[in-house]
Amino acid sequence: MPRVNNRLAAMACQARSEGIDRGPPRPGRSRPRLPALPLLAALFLAHAAAAPALAADPARRGPRPDPAFNTTRMMTHDGNECREVPGCRSVHSEWLTLADNQARVLSVGCPEGQPNAWHWDTEQHEHIYVRLVARTRTGLTLHASNQQTGASGAVRIHVGCSSKRFDATGTGYMVSRRGIPSMNWGSAKEVTP
């Protein structure tokens, strides 16, 4: 068993407790570490003191509403759900209201007499984004989201139904609808559902 010099061990222990660096580490030994607890406590207290001020600053609360959207402008329903659809019957969903930064999925199905879903169209606020996420023979599933405008918005989905099966050949199909921000146009039409 190696002999230990008690005096040297006591000095090394005292140096470690005071955070004194005694030079580069010798082979096989680690460098004495500075006490981290006081440093961590100081950082925690500084962060705790600054947190209320950061939370109160609106610029630090996350994404800001997009001022380019006119949140009162309604995009009209153009009847596109029945374009190029043989014997079309238009069915629509109920109005869906979305709060700021909210998203919902909704399905619209066709009635028994005309069970085949073809195209779709919407009535919606400019700041609502709608996209087709699934298609079955009898209905469509769409995803609607509010684009962080600071205001709620509404949408109603219209689906064209037919007794003939859907055929994209020659008709194509729409996959999404989004409004172009019109706040800077100066002549946006204001309509509410």
What are the residue ranges spanned by the domains of the chain?
6-60, 74-178
Q: Is pLDDT at 189 greater than 70 in this prediction?
A: no
pLDDT at res. 168: 77
| pLDDT > 90: percent of the chain | 41
3-state secondary structure 153-172: EEEEEEEEEECCCCCCCCCC
Q: Is pLDDT at 19 greater than 90 in this prediction?
A: no
Tell me the pTM. 0.61
For tokens 């061990």, the residue is 9
Please determine, looking at this structure, whether the domain spanning 74-178 carries the CATH number 2.60.120. Answer: yes
For tokens 């961590």, the residue is 40
Judged by DSSP in three states, 95 sits in coil
Contact 178, 73 (CB under 8 A): no
What's the first-to-final CA gap in the chain, in angstroms? 90
Closest C-alpha among 151, 156, 142 to residue 183? 151
